[in-house]
Chains A and B, each alone.
Chain A
């Protein structure tokens, strides 16, 4: 509440000074967008904190679980433990940037064209089913979301390839991931952006493989540019070649290192807005994987020196994170690739209305059959590592990508540190060349 009041005050101040507000955006929009539960949490009959949804009572959640997760429950592959809906307040500076900037933002002609954006959430208004570009606006809210804040590290980051039928773990990969926003920064210096950015990079992702031995030193660097019309650049360093290779787009929409993820799947969607056609399908109260990490069942498999432990996995094939779920307001969006050579026909994503993270995605193959389902567990930063407390970042904390056709999954366990400062030099081609050589 303190945050929202502060935002309101700042918003009002900005309005007085500029006198140039877009009447379409109100402070109420901003408040509603960032604090949807300040008045009341979603309520569904039969689904309350402590409810366990399983094979015997899945019907109560039929309208509040996505198609794939409902199927998993019906099949008895997993069960959903419901916990209280909690507010994942994003960083006040991000909210403030929204209040002061959203009124200046508009869409240009054509998908991917945004104007007047400086920082914060670009379109805090409630989407309208009658707005043909509502899906696109939601996509921008995700793209310029506060996902991992201005910069973050995930290290280590364990991925496991699992056979769902046998339960066998086929591969275990250990990564380090880093994220850096070059522009539109609000929480950590430099604000609002790095200088010396001639390519006008908006955001970069860097990862390197620590294990296993045959993939060790594999590194990936992705640049996403401010200009959405400019295609992402990606480079891959393969340890056994000791050489940096530029990636073709087709490799971004292909299995990454044999996992069930594509590079395009990272964080729920990792690509340009203009690579997709976005259609808003409606707002629903959905059961989504939001939880407090420290309250969860944690795995004994790994324990860091400081005692940090990772989310445990169970259920069929060990593919399902052992977490609790919350009833949350979500926007359902259909995402269709523009490129006909894409291996997928569409995605159905459920955007969390408060955080604009993508905790649930359903991915369909070219025959429009459900192919993969992607879960990203969101942990509250105040109930995680001490360093994350107060960062106002909804932390990606566990993931599961399940290939529904081949019954195979890839799971992920994070040690994420929002705001951990990543050296800008880390996000350069030369860095991966030097680190890998």
Chain B
């Protein structure tokens, strides 16, 4: 039996509580690049900013269809509160989505509550992103007992024919594949990106699962130098990747902030910058001064009441036999070539946003107050799902003597993954995905740097191809559809040297996101002071990533709220066709909500260079 316990204290929530803890956040203003014609009020200047909750709320409550009082709690009244909603959605404890990234810059942004969920539960998604301060500062001490990092029992059963069954049952990490830094086959355990995003070792960031592995080891058999069959059953309750909660310092692709802000939008309402075309907004009751003024330029900051847009909930699969995961692997060596064939029946550990026609129902049209009760095509109201995935793949490694180089190849084809797609009424599309890594390792002498010890050069090329990718030219002439690149590559190069009997180890990693034009450079120096003490310091810098490659169709001009279709035209006396009821035209583009994914992991952190000092003592 083997057990590993781990406890962590992340001091950032105490040491910098005004940035990440109980006092984090501030009041915010949202860009109003167009003129909003307020009922009985004036016209804010173009290019101005309006406070969260400041712009006029949509006319009616999507909860009960009653008329909203403009500017008061996003239309909520005590009488209309439902469990979980707050009467107050104050302009405090917030940041603007992406404020550390691109600024608002004419795009779609909204407030993100950033305090731990015990201090401020706005935007906290039940069972998914709802950690309180203790759980953030001591992440292992949660209701999944993650302080038991690993606990498993090994058993072997020798058979009469010389073969061997090996079993491991318990909480464990199951590592497939042959490559570093990328997870093509190594996807059984989800990753905790809240631990320094992608910059910690997988060993530390994999989330162990309760599982059983059974290996049937046949050894040298027939034409194979080694042959083994492996069966994996993950019977743990499903766990998604931890993308980092909104308001916390380590988030993958900024998804935590994006989701928390959207959940607050759904639960409590929110103000969204630069949303409605001023030309349309100016014609909406009860703010009508006159008919819509098509001459008004820009986009108006818009306040939505609860249950109109946003993320309603995350549908985490409950435990059932049908929701467990299965894996099969056949692995061996043939004429010196290591190989494996892998199959995994699993779930996506990354969230899929089901919106529009697959999203939550809207009870009432917030523009007309008329009952709806059905999901609305293209509506940016979502439920988070974790779809089933079938994955088949394989790997190879071999040595090419003339090149003095080891080659490592890993590839996987998945079926069932889902990606945002603004052309679909449900705003997502399923796509088969081909991923692969080709890696080479070559020790090479650089004698003027170290005459007696070689440097390890390890290069990898990771490729991802969305085989059912869809993109088309929208009405505006710009591209709409799936923000993710149809095909993309990330190249990495690691160079590591060793001095002082490997007690001083300089290392540098270069990474290049080919399509996003983002780079990361991560130099570090490790010093093993003694067998117990280790000092590691370094940095990672992100560069490149210019030219607006992170901007993409932001779906603003698709039907954004229910009622804004033909019935809305009629109800409000607007000319037919004034309000679109179709997919986005692609005319509006920004870094959020989808562009940030297009920018990739380096692009999302372009403003987050990091310097670190790590001191370890091992008992």
Contacts and interface: CB of A to CB of B under 8 A. Distances in A.
B partners with A: yes
A408 B504 CA distance: 15
Interface in B185-244: 201-203, 215, 217, 219-226, 228
A206 to B, nearest CB: 13
A196 B452 CA distance: 40
Interface string A242-256: 111111111100110
A257 interface: yes
Interface in A226-277: 230-231, 233, 240-251, 254-255, 257-260
A172 B528 CA distance: 12
A132 interface: no
A428 B226 contact: yes
B404 interface: yes
Interface string A394-437: 00000000000000101000000000000011001111001001
Given A198-B220, A255-B502, A429-B338, A343 B404 contact: no
B479 interface: no
B219 A170 contact: no
A430 B498 contact: no
A383 interface: no
A123 interface: no
B388 interface: no
A49 to B, nearest CB: 37
A249 B503 CA distance: 22
Interface in B470-505: 498, 501-503
A247 B452 contact: no
A430 to B, nearest CB: 5
A343 B443 CA distance: 12
Nearest to A434: B166
Interface in B110-163: 162
Contact of A251 (B443, B503, B534, B618): B443
B166 to A, nearest CB: 5
Nearest to A371: B452
Contacts of A424: 219
B503 A196 contact: no
A242 B501 contact: no
Given A171-B503, A172-B531, A214-B618, A243 B336 contact: no
Contacts of B445: 341, 343
B333 interface: yes
Contact of B441 (A240, A245, A258): A245
Interface residues of B, number: 60
B515 to A, nearest CB: 28
Nearest to A342: B445
Nearest to A431: B217
A240 B203 contact: yes
Which of B178, B180, B333, B619 has most chain A Cβ within 10 Å?
Answer: B333
Interface stretch (B19-27, B74-82, B168-176, B359-367): B168-176
Contacts of A434: 166, 168, 215, 217
B501 A430 contact: no
B454 A258 contact: no
Interface residues of A, number: 49
Contacts of A428: 217, 219-220, 226
B219 A247 contact: no
Contacts of B531: 171-172, 211-214
Contacts of B222: 198
A248 B405 contact: yes
A244 B176 CA distance: 10
A254 B454 contact: yes
Interface stretch (B90-98, B394-402, B424-432, B553-561): B394-402
Contacts of B87: none
Given A197-B220, A198-B222, A198-B223, A249 B401 contact: yes
B498 A255 contact: yes
Contacts of A171: 501, 503, 528, 530-531
Which of B173, B502, B619 has most chain A Cβ within 10 Å?
Answer: B502
A410 B531 CA distance: 15
B177 interface: yes
Interface of A: 161, 170-172, 196-199, 201, 211-214, 230-231, 233, 240-251, 254-255, 257-260, 341, 343, 365-366, 371, 408, 410, 424-425, 428-431, 434, 437
30 contacts: A161-B503, A196-B219, A198-B223, A199-B225, A199-B335, A212-B618, A214-B531, A230-B336, A233-B336, A241-B180, A242-B175, A243-B180, A244-B178, A244-B338, A248-B404, A249-B401, A249-B404, A250-B454, A251-B456, A254-B443, A258-B501, A260-B501, A341-B445, A343-B454, A366-B451, A428-B219, A429-B338, A430-B331, A437-B173, A437-B174
Given A171-B503, A430-B331, 20 more contacts: A171-B501, A198-B222, A212-B618, A214-B534, A240-B201, A243-B175, A245-B397, A246-B397, A248-B441, A250-B404, A254-B454, A255-B453, A255-B502, A259-B501, A343-B451, A371-B452, A410-B501, A429-B226, A434-B215, A437-B173
